[in-house]
């Protein structure tokens, strides 16, 4: 899950940078309002990418990152109880 979220994040951020570069290197020669519109769309992408990248998956246990064996046993016990 983490790898998939990371790939989606980098694809979204690459699209963002591509929109900025394309808007001001190419599109502005034909239409400044279109270039501004592209930049406005690109401006929305980073916050959405951050939300997508930081979303917790169903198998993620981000709240227990201690690595403590006792804590792991406790969470496994709770997870088993939830699956019954």
Say what the pLDDT of residue 75 is. Answer: 72
Dihedral of CA atoms 26, 7, 40, 31 in degrees, nearest 10, equals 20
**Average pLDDT per block of 10 residues along the chain, 84 residues long:** 84 95 94 96 95 78 65 73 48
> What is the C-alpha to C-alpha distance for residues 48 and 51, in angstroms, rounded to an integer?
5
DSSP 60: -
CA quadruple 17, 14, 37, 24: dihedral positive or negative? positive
Say what the pLDDT of residue 30 is. Answer: 95
> What is the C-alpha to C-alpha distance for residues 13 and 25, in angstroms, rounded to an integer?
18
Q: What is the pTM of this model?
A: 0.65
């Amino acid at each position: 899950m983490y790898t998939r979220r990371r790939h989606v994040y980098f694809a979204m951020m690459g699209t963002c940078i591509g929109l900025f570069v394309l808007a001001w290197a190419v599109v502005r020669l034909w239409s400044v309002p279109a270039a501004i519109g592209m930049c406005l769309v690109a401006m929305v992408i980073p916050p959405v990418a951050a939300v997508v990248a930081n979303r917790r998956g169903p198998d993620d246990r981000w709240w227990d990152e201690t690595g403590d064996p006792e804590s792991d046993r406790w969470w496994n016990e709770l997870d088993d109880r939830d699956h019954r």
